[in-house]
Structure 1
Amino acid sequence: MQFANSKILIVDDDPIQRRLLQEAVHKFGHKSRTAENGAEAVRIMKGPEASEIDLIILDMVMPELDGIGVLTQLRKEKISTPAIIQTAHGGIDTVVSAMNAGAQDFVVKPVAPERLNVSIRNLLKTSALEEEITRFRKQASGTLTFSDIITHSPAMERVINLGRRAASSNIPILIEGESGVGKEMIASAIQGSGERKSKPLVTVNCGAIPENLVESILFGHEKGAFTGASEKHVGKFQEAHGGTLFLDEVGELPQEVQVKLLRAIQENEIDPIGSKRPIKVDFRLISATNRRLLDQVKEGKFREDLYYRLNVFPIWIPPLRDRREDVPTLARHFLARFAAEEGKSHVAGISQEAMAMLQTYHWPGNIRQLENTVFRAVVLCDGAELVVDDFPQIAAAMDHVAPVSMPGARETNVGSDSFDSPSPKTDRPSGADAGENNSREDVAIPKAFEHAAPFGFMRSLDNEGHVRKLTDMEEELIRTAINHYSGRMTEVAKRLGIGRSTLYRKLKEYGLDDTGDSDAAA
């Protein structure tokens, strides 16, 4: 499986062709969304669903709005989602027209599954690499926006909505969250979405500065202000003049520096060491911490008056274990980047077993740990895709067993549009923000039941050790049959000993027909 969990929009007015393409796409390990005509495809790509679409397979000849017309409209709207054009006529003029309209690849019907798989894999990899490069450039230039942040998680939608609102004002922001969740990325997006975009974003890691140098680094000093001050030094506040100052790990600041920071926020002026007069500065302040500042206030380690100055607009970023939907997309982007950096262009995807393991792991180091884990795996990989053996540390933490979805969880290869992963119960920071970022109750999986039975066997006990419900076992058996027989419903019904009409009724009952005709593979 290459780039598992990618979502592909299939646009074709022929229902049989749609079904064939869906079967192929699901077999490759991707999800799908269908459109019966060009107008519907344009509507989807201009709507909220567009952020979930990673690639488009587009028929060339359709009534009303053909494939060229669809691409022309999308590119006019600056929608750059990669597209594969398919047609029954492969003349050179047709190919040139498709490429000029913005298609990235061109296939002739009937396309061989192997050819289609290679095209999908290459375009997803290229797209991921281009997006990574664009993101780095935007962050460096101060123009990164929230649309550049990689997420499909409802928990992160609230973070992004809060960030967009805060970006339009000059209100002080306090970002809280565990190490590695992406606090600096959110700060960059806030700065790049407001009036101060393209202006300096000065980042200071307060926990990495020696205590005796904090004041000088932040506020600057005059020449001769103290022993060793042979030259005048401009502090971080002055560097951020006109832009944004991001104080990471602000809870690590010494008490005496906290007093000067409070005055800088209140008066918009600073006192460099040795200066005879204060200096006015214009800055937007964003602070971040991986600790609860309120607890530090109670312990007397952080000034209460400063806390309320910083915590005017709080934003809490959930850990990666609470937004597992983001793991596949993040892993794909990191893979594309590191494969290019390491000269390993042959590494083009992540196996299904490895991806299941990554989604189940609890990620104490969050996105930063995932990034480093994929980097190491790319270096170790000798094949065409990352496998479980390329993640030895994660596999060791998971008892060397590749986790698979627990009963009742969505599988990634049966044609469903929505997928959930098992999520062990984790401690969450207290407070209002913490309680609002989970859309469902997480369930702790006991050690004795955390791994599914071997292939070909069905577990009879649930996560708590009780006998499973018949409906749950029936649903799992249907999913297994669909996967085992590659979506050939006649064969599935025959092997289950039921009629096709009964099978389709059960598919509807269990929500396996999300895409309408995705489960019909004649």
Structure 2
Amino acid sequence: MIPTGGRILIADDDPVQRRLLEEAVKRFGYRARSVENGAEAVAMMASAEGGDVDLVILDLVMPELDGMGVIAKLREMKKTVPIIVQTAHAGIDAAVNAIRAGAQDFVVKPVSPERLEVAIRTFMRMSALEGEITRIHKQASGTFSFDDIVTRSDAMERVIRVGRRAATSHIPVLIEGESGVGKELIARAIQGSSERRAKPFITVNCGAIPEHLVESILFGHEKGAFTGAVDKHVGKFQEAHGGTLFLDEVGELSLDIQVKLLRALQEGEIDPIGSRRPVKVDFRLISATNRRLIDLVKDGQFREDLYYRLNVFPLWLPPLRDRPEDIPDLVRHFLARFAAEEGRPHISTVSPDAVAMLQAYDWPGNIRQLENAVFRAVVLCEGDHLVADDFPQVQASVGSPAAAARVPAPRPVLSHEAGSTGETADGDETDARAPQTAGVALDEGAAGPATPFGYMRSLDDHGHVRKLEDVEAEMIRTAIDHYGGRMTEVARRLSIGRSTLYRKLKDYGLDATPDAEAAE
């Protein structure tokens, strides 16, 4: 069993004891790092690696700096990492003093593996839960920062590095990325790292507001401005005065509302419905979208001048499938939260095969889907740890041919793409000596293996190259099937506008199914 990414620092001057502890920790499923004395332990905790340590196993008697000295130094450094001290039988009083100084537990040498595992699991679970509580509190109070984001991936580290720069100014930020990747979390981190921290953070989901209410909700209205306006209503722009306004799915706004938004950005004032004079507002605007705004501009659905006003400082968040190294830590934090909420604190770990399965899955719904999957797994779990069977939907998908084709792996070269370098359409190099028929679909009933999902025929039944329009029509059908009829995702993956997609459906006589429309 592994607690999805926990790392333990072992500080002991006895090489035999260090080796035994390392093996025990690894057998429990945790990652281990060892140092020979207290001075090295303090130095490591003060370095960048120190932020990756979840628990410390500390010997009390060491040269240069003993265990009590290490505890004192860590507390001076404001490190709240749990500490388990080790002591001999004659050192019980010292262990009690260590607890008073700030350690969480002590074990007597030679410690039994069972006793050590129970202690580690307990404090790792508590640490994870405390981290979740702290993050939730910071989100509620507006002090959530980039340091509170759970990630290990280089791609997200780049996002955080650029986001910190954006937080130091009042520049408008546009966050792009698929649904569920955490765009609002990044927006909150920008707010929490800026001068406007702890000021209002107002969120508006532009795609969830009825069209006839958008103007009133955003800009407000005066009493009697229209039928049913029995009271004055303060809009979201005024609510965000002094703080940050986060417009999620900004691409869903109508052209009329886009004009008013452009004026608010340019002039710093809004016109509530029925108001005789404009109202000055001071706000930081952060926008987000899961659609490519530049494509909407080309299709005439989004104003070009507003696009350049919003896209001053763009941030793109990578999907979860491109950063599988984040999955273990995310699972750990979700597990800690849901186990506590559901009254199932005994569930604290995830089996290695379950973690591997979760990392192999595509996660089309990204972090939001992973969160819901862990929630469901906690409810289904019948033991003291999550296993692959607790994720039935993921298990079914990873085991299917379609899902296997989505797992990152070298792809065969299509016959019409094969060249001397063996480069695929995605730019990935493959073995140019591979049979060129690997990517050509065989006729039904022809001898040979069945064609894997996702590969298309490049030649027709008579051996001639197929027409481009036939290939394009088949590609669109494949994309609709592959993405479950989510037309926004289909258009994005095909790098065409949504209106262009629907035009091509009409040209090729391809109808979006009712299921596809419902999936939107």
Same fold flag (TM > 0.5): yes
Q: Decide which moves more: 231-240 or 56-65.
A: 56-65
Partner residue of 2:200?
Answer: 200
Equivalent position of 1:235 in the other structure: 235
Q: CA offset at residue 100 of structure 1?
A: 2.4
SS state at 1:20 partner: helix
Contact 2:11 2:18 in 1 (8 A): yes
Given that residues 179 and 290 in structure 2 are in contact (C-alpha distance below 8 angstroms), is that contact kept between their aligned partners in structure 1?
yes
Following TM superposition, by how much is the alpha carbon of 1:269 offset from its aligned partner in structure 2, in angstroms? 0.7
Deviation at 1:69, TM superposition (A): 1.4
Alignment partner, residue 185 of structure 2: 185
* Counterpart Cα distance in 1 of 2:180 and 2:104: 35
Distance in 2 between residues matched to 1:163 and 1:20, nearest whole Å: 43
Quick check: 85-94 or 178-187, which moved more? 85-94
- The corresponding residue for 2:300 is 300
Shift in CA distance, 400/73, structure 1 to aligned 2, threshold 3 Å:
farther
Q: Does 1:337 align with 2:340?
A: no
| AA of the residue aligned to 1:5 | G
Q: Distance in 1 between matches of 2:428 and 2:88?
A: 49
1:12–1:35 CA contact under 8 A, matched in 2: yes
How big is each residue's C-alpha offset from its partner over 1:200-235, in whole Å with a ceiling of 9 and x where there is no partner?
Answer: 100000000011111110000001111111110000
Report the AA paired with residue 223 of structure 2: K
Say whether the 8 Å CA contact 1:423–1:442 is kept in structure 2.
Answer: no
Judge conservation of contact 2:5–2:332 (CA < 8 Å) in 1. no
Q: Which residue of 1 aligns with 2:371?
A: 371
Structure 1 position 317 matched with structure 2 position 354: no
Deviates more, 1:50-59 or 1:17-26: 50-59
1:29 and 2:34 matched? no
Alignment of 1:137-286 (within 5 A): 137-286=137-286
Letter in 1 for 2:45: M
Q: How much has 1:423 moved relative to structure 2?
A: 4.2
Q: CA deviation at 1:265?
A: 0.7
Structure 1: how far apart are the matches of 2:398 and 2:71? 45
Runs (5+) with no aligned partner, structure 1: 405-421, 427-440, 447-522
Q: Name which of structure 1's ranges 247-256 and 118-127 shifts more when overlaid on structure 2.
A: 118-127
With over 3 angstroms needed to count, the CA separation of the structure-2 counterparts of 1:83 and 1:307, relative to structure 1, is same
Distance 2:370 2:89 in 1: 44
Report deviation, 1:102. 2.0
CA shift in 2, pair 1:22/1:157, >3 Å: same
Change (3 A) 1:223 1:97: same
Contact 2:87 2:95 in 1 (8 A): no
SS where residue 150 of structure 2 aligns?
Answer: coil
Instruction: Write the distance in 2 (CA, Å) between the matches of 1:90 and 1:378.
Output: 43
For 1:353-502, what aligned pairs fall within 5 Å after superposition? 353-399=353-399, 423-424=408-409
Residue type matched to 1:274 in 2? Answer: G
- Shifted more, 126-135 versus 64-73: the winner is 64-73
The total of aligned residue pairs comes to 413
| Residue in 2 that maps onto 1:107 | 107
Q: Distance in 2 between matches of 1:134 and 1:106?
A: 26
Cα-to-partner distance string for 1:104-160 (whole Å, 9 max, x where unaligned): 221111111111111111111111100000100000000011111111111111011
Q: Residues of 2 paired with 1:5 and 1:132: CA distance?
A: 15
In the alignment, which residue of structure 1 is the partner of 2:448?
none
CA distance in 1, matches of 2:277, 2:383: 64
Q: Indicate how the Cα distance of structure 1 residues 44 and 348 shifts in structure 2: closer, same or farther if over 3 A, else same.
A: same
Give the TM-score normalised by the residue count of structure 2. Answer: 0.77
- C-alpha deviation, 1:425, in angstroms: 7.6
> How many Å separate the matches in 1 of 2:166 and 2:410?
31
Aligned to 1:135: 135
CA distance in 2, matches of 1:40, 1:349: 30
Q: Distance in 1 between matches of 2:34 and 2:183?
A: 36
Q: Residues of 1 paired with 2:228 and 2:62: CA distance? A: 76
Q: Cα gap change, 1:366/1:24 in structure 2, threshold over 3 Å: closer, same or farther? A: same
For 2:243 and 2:383, how far apart are their aligned partners in 1? 46
When residues 288 and 37 of structure 1 are mapped into structure 2, their CA distance, relative to the original with a 3 A threshold, is same
Say whether the 8 Å CA contact 2:5–2:30 is kept in structure 1: yes
Q: Which amino acid aligns with 2:128?
A: A
**1:128 counterpart letter in structure 2:** A
1:161–1:365 distance in 2 versus 1, CA, 3 Å:
same
* Partner residue in 2 for 1:59: 59
After superposition, the CA RMSD in angstroms is 2.1
Aligned mates of 1:57, 1:45 — CA distance in 2: 13
User: What is the DSSP-based 3-state SS (H/G/I as helix, E as strand, rest coil) of the residue aligned with 1:202?
Assistant: strand
Distance 1:214 1:369 in 2: 28
Partners of 1:425 and 1:142 in 2: CA distance: 44
Distance 1:443 1:325, change over 3 A: farther
The one-letter code matched in structure 2 to 1:209 is: I
* Native 8 Å contact 2:4 2:331 kept in 1: no
- Secondary structure of the corresponding residue to residue 57 of structure 1: strand
TM-score after normalising by structure 1: 0.76
The alpha-carbon distance between structure 1 residues 292 and 424, as it changes in their structure 2 partners (threshold 3 A), is: farther
Q: Shift of the alpha carbon at 1:258?
A: 0.4
Partner of 2:499: none
| 1:12 aligned residue | 12
Letter in 2 for 1:384: D
Structure 1 counterpart SS, 2:86: strand
Q: State the Cα distance separating 1:34 from its structure 2 match.
A: 1.5
1:215/1:90 CA distance change after superposition, 3 Å: farther
Shift of 1:92: 4.7
3-state secondary structure, aligned to 2:324: coil
Aligned to 2:71: 71
Q: State the one-letter code of the partner of 1:362.
A: D
Separation (CA, whole Å) in 2 of partners of 1:118 and 1:200: 43
Q: Distance in 1 between matches of 2:429 and 2:335?
A: 30
Question: 1:49 is aligned with what amino acid?
Answer: E
Tell me the secondary structure at the aligned position of residue 84 of structure 2: strand
**Within 2, Cα distance between the matches of 1:81 and 1:155?**
27
Say whether the 8 Å CA contact 2:203–2:247 is kept in structure 1. yes
CA deviation map 1:338-360 (0-9, x unaligned): 11111111212111111111111
175-184 or 40-49, which moves further after superposition? Answer: 40-49
Residue type of the partner of 1:325?
E
Structure exhibiting the larger radius of gyration computed from Cα positions: 2
Rounded Cα–Cα distance in structure 2 between residues aligned with 1:92 and 1:2: 31
Distance 1:167 1:423 in 2: 34
The 3-state SS of whatever aligns with 2:175 is strand
CA contact (8 A) 1:424 1:442 kept: no
Q: Which amino acid aligns with 2:177?
A: G
Residue in 1 aligned with 2:472?
Answer: none
Provide structure 2 residue ranges, at least 5 long, that are not aligned to the other structure.
412-426, 435-520
